[in-house]
Structure 1
Amino acid sequence: MNPRESDTLIIGGGIIGLSIAWRLARTGHRVIVLERGSAGGEASRMAAGMLAATAEVGYEEFDLYALCTDAVRRWPSFASELEEDSGISVDFRSQGTMVAARDPDAASALRRAFEFQQEHGFEVSWLTRAEALDREPFLSPRIAAAVYAADDHSVDNRAVTRALVAAIRALGGRVEEETEVTDVLMDTQGGDHRVHTAPGNADWSAGQIVLAAGAWSHDLAGLPEVARPPVRPVKGQILTLRMEAPFRLEHVVRGTRAYLVPRTNGRLVVGATSEEMGFNTELTAGGLWSVLDGAWELVPGILDLPVMETSVGLRPGSRDHQPIVGWSDVPGLFVATGHYRHGVVLSSSTADAAANVLLGGDMPAIMHPFSPTRFRVEA
């Protein structure tokens, strides 16, 4: 067999493309992932790893809220199976999330979200200032109130992508890094589709192609215009601190301007900006200040912590900030991109749905609102 032939070729080795490849590889499906840089090296690396349907999604985004909830419920088994296949711990933490209101106005908005969550059966608790400080002593004594979301968890996103690569390879799939797609040639006559890559102008072929190239999905060379998803890069600046005794956070802590995500290894991820700056990846003083100032309002003690890392990622934002998942108008081309701020949490639902469809099954109803066809321009 030609080593560059497969049943499914996935363009993009971020958490979405890798998750789909892993689910396919578990069935014995021949799958190859082509990644222009390092697998998991773009937005997936710069994420914080929050699995937060309750705290992360605006309650006016009901379809996305439902999908994120479905994804969070899949994550315990998703993480367990991935650890089993890869032998790598992904640091799945189920301590829940605390959403803190810094002042009475923020508390009023938080109360409305809390009541919506209660109406829809989510496990949330309203906490007074004293109750919140009892759970997280390093919260600011100035906060007005907080909500505890028991069903919101977190995971080490970098460990997840490492585990996905290891699992895919262990199951017989392939992840080709430093392999940039330079042309896509879709066959409209029922034959295999072809992809050219650099370096070396290599030629790859597959019965179906998955476009999971994140912020680069729209600009991929060779894509038919009708198949280009309306995705753009949204810049995010983020930093990692090192927790040192006596400082400690047990839960993910969120506010209106920042979030703080503790890791078992003592790291504390603090983020993130959301900037319409094209493909600009420069760190800026203003961006980092904004993140730190928002986090300081919630947890003042962070200002004494050592900085371990600062970084920038480019999230794939769609025209309506919702994921784009499903068959395109070009036969054989499946799209899985546009996950914006929710790529890590939605990787579980996206992978399960995409793998089912790519293996000949139906798209789950919960995914229907996110079809690429919603952007179709009728003549």
Structure 2
Amino acid sequence: MRTSHPTTDRGDGRVVVVGGGLAGRVTAWRAAQRGFDVTLVEPSDARSASRVAAGMLTPATEAVFGEEPLMEFGVHSAGLYTDFVAELEAASGVPVGHRTTGTLMVAFDRDDLAVLADLHELQQRLGIPTERLTGRECRRLEPMLAPTARGGVLASADHSVDPRRLLRALAVAGARAGVHEVEDRAVEVTDDLRVRLEGGDALAADQVVLAAGCWSNAVTLPEPVVPTVRPVKGQLLRTRLPEGSEPLVHRTVRGLVKGSPVYLVPREDGEIVVGATQEERGQDESLTVGGLWQVLRDARELVPGVTELEVTETCVGLRPGSPDNEPLLGPTRVPGLHLAAGHFRHGVLLTPATGEAMAQALTEGTLPSPARRFSADREDT
């Protein structure tokens, strides 16, 4: 059952956004731009997946059989990114590290190459522009690839961004647009849309947006309108090239190594993010030898020079996965209560489209057509 609760078109209501990750901050900024009185609630010890994410904007190389509508939504969001970044950087004065050098997906062995061949066919059916390459052509683009690489797929339209800078830019732009931030933890949303905080205060609202990632289930609601948003653990490393070194990779390189995915995402400042595991281990945020070994083992098979990188940070994040691994956006069956959660692996990619969807949900009570499949109250969740 899909709900629609029309709201004011003047944007003069009180909106409380629970959660300070990318989904929450882009929603808060877009709502403030439309004249809403916006308060964002985020605890000081928040551990949003956005701060750990690598920042790949890769609808082409993220394509998975059975997730075609989600990939189409990703393509839509990727198409918004250039204008979104320009607007955000102008509003905040904070560069977000948007790189448009494309993504190269590489196969380590013949079985991996067969998987990439099937993926390429899917991309072609979805109208996503990609190009099949031989191993030699891959090494011509990325000379530091292992000589054993069998071949690959080049997605020139896949980009990347620095999620930490993106978060900072959204925070600054939000503050300049009038977003008020409260450093506390939301514990309950009441029948009359008051957001009760752990510190004892309560915030009155006309509309509430729950965007707390995999911690959304910890907020008590008037009725159970949030499907279980499970945490999916990811371990990765942040590394840096030795001073004076030539670039290890020139673009995002994603690989399949004996069936296991691995990626290297370069930044303009010399940082390279290497990741990541995908583990169904509940709220476990422990950093493990096995997890890091898996990432480094596969990265070394793909790009042997990774062993020369300096490790600057090890990270663990919990991606918020919905029951069907698709985002939960917009109005719920509780009037005035919205969701912006469950983005799983796609939170960074879907940031512009999430802001677009939530702005319309708050002003009109409906979702724009590209986002309607991902309605928060869809029956299949």
TM (norm. structure 2) is 0.92
Partner of 1:181: 186
Structure 2: gaps spanning 5 or more residues: 1-11
2:208 equivalent to 1:209: yes
Within 2, Cα distance between the matches of 1:20 and 1:300? 41
Match of 1:74 in 2: 80
Query: How far apart, CA to CA, are the structure 2 residues paired with 1:196 and 1:47?
Result: 29
- What stretches of structure 1 move > 3 A for 4+ residues in a row? none
CA contact (8 A) 2:330 2:366 kept: no
Are 2:196 and 1:196 aligned?
yes
- Deviation track 1:71-108 (CA, whole Å, cap 9, x = no partner) reads 11011111111100000000100000000001111111
**Aligned equivalent of 2:19:** 12
What is the Cα deviation at residue 38 of structure 1? Answer: 5.5
Question: Is residue 230 from structure 1 mapped to residue 228 from structure 2 by the alignment?
Answer: yes
Alignment partners' CA distance in 2, 1:319 and 1:270: 27
After superposition, residues 353-368 of structure 1 pair within 5 angstroms as 353-360=357-364, 362-368=366-372
Matches within 5 A, 1:71-110: 71-110=77-116
State the Cα distance separating 1:247 from its structure 2 match. Answer: 4.2
Counterpart contact for 2:52–2:315, Cα < 8 Å: yes
Paired residue type of 2:40: V
| From 108, 112, 116, the counterpart of 2:118 | 112
2:151 to 130, 145, 151: 145
CA distance in 1 between counterparts of 2:331 and 2:274 reads 36
Cross-structure match for 2:297: 293
- Select the residue among 267, 271, 275 that pairs with 1:267: 271
Residues 63 and 119, structure 2, Cα contact 8 Å, conserved in 1: no
Letter in 1 for 2:201: A
Q: Indicate the residue corresponding to 1:190 in structure 2.
A: none
Give the AA of the match of 1:219: A
Determine which of 300, 305, 311 is the counterpart of 2:309: 305
Q: TM-score, normalised by structure 1?
A: 0.92
- Report the 3-state secondary structure (helix = DSSP H, G, I; strand = E; otherwise coil) of the residue aligned with 1:227: coil
- 1:225-256: CA deviations, max 9, x gaps? 43122211111111111023134211100013
1:314 aligns with 2:318: yes
* Contact kept? 2:331, 2:365, Cα under 8 Å: no
**Deviation of the 1:115 alpha carbon:** 2.1
> What secondary structure is seen at the aligned counterpart in 1 of 2:325?
coil
User: Partner residue of 2:288?
Assistant: 284
* Deviation at residue 224 of structure 1 after TM alignment: 2.9
Looking at structure 1, the residues matched to 45 and 177 of structure 2 have their Cα atoms a distance apart, in angstroms, of 20
Aligned length: 364
Contact 2:72 2:126 in 1 (8 A): no
d(CA) in 1 for partners of 2:185 and 2:13?
Answer: 17
- Greater shift, 122-131 or 98-107, is seen at 122-131
1:14 deviation in Å?
0.5
- Which of 347, 355, 366 aligns to 2:351? It is 347
| Offset of residue 28 of structure 1 | 2.5
Contact 2:227 2:323 in 1 (8 A): no
Deviation at 1:197?
1.1
Cα distance in structure 2, aligned partners of 1:306 and 1:218: 38
Look up the SS of the partner of 1:218 in the other structure. Answer: helix
Distance 1:31 1:25 in 2: 6
For residues 162-214 of structure 1, give each alpha carbon's deviation from its aligned partner in whole angstroms, at most 9, with x where no partner exists.
Answer: 0111110011112223x111221122xxxxx2011132x11201100001010
Q: Unaligned regions of 5+ residues in structure 1, if any?
A: 188-192
> 2:331–2:375: 8 Å Cα contact kept in structure 1?
yes
Report 1:239-254 matches (<5 A).
239-244=237-242, 245-254=245-254
Q: What is the rounded CA distance, in whole Å, between the counterparts of 1:271 and 1:376 in structure 2?
A: 31
Deviations 1:149-170 (A, max 9, x none): 0110000000000011111001
Matching of residue 51 in structure 1 with residue 96 in structure 2:
no
Q: How far apart in 2 are the matches of 1:28 and 1:127? A: 49
- Separation in 1 of the partners of 2:182 and 2:360? 23
Q: State the Cα distance separating 1:295 from its structure 2 match.
A: 1.3
Provide the residue aligned with 2:30 in structure 1: 23
User: What percentage of residue pairs aligned between the two structures are identical?
Assistant: 42
